[in-house]
Amino acid sequence: MRHVLIGNSFPVSLIQRRVVCLMIDRNDFLSQINGCKICSFWGHANTLKVAGEFAGVDLAPRVTRPVMKLSECGLPMLDGIEFNTCWILSPLYARNFRPAIGEEVDEKMITDWRIVKMEWRVK
């Protein structure tokens, strides 16, 4: 079974080699993750339910606030699995709303989701 890495953001400090980011529509996203085992590093409990409903999969991480690390090749790793692709589900907020630093956003402020596919490249 193929594993897919999904989160609500990606730490820039873990980008150590070329990454290409692509905006993906929901149908393409759903078709590409269909039948895969979800490896989630979702970090915000308050948006977990609504994001999972949007994605059509359970996004609950195996442990609370999981920590990723880099493989020797500079690729993200979670639970000992190396990935060359990561899916980011990023909320689109209600007009003129910007969360305060450290604020947990209420799901009522999310109007939609943007999907970013991050792909690590060799060169």
| Domains, the chain | 3-120 (3.40.50.11170)
pLDDT at residue 123, as a whole number: 65
- Residue range 77-102: average pLDDT? 89
Q: Does 105 score more than 80 pLDDT?
A: no
pLDDT digits (tens, 9 = 90+) for 8-30: 999 999 999 999 999 999 999 99
Percent of the chain residues past pLDDT 90, beyond the cut: 72
Angstrom distance (rounded) from CA 49 to CA 58: 8
With cut-offs at 50, 70 and 90, classify the pLDDT of residue 117: very high
Angstrom distance (rounded) from CA 35 to CA 43: 23
- Six-digit token pair at 23? 């905006």
List the Cα angle 55/77/5 in 5-degree steps.
10
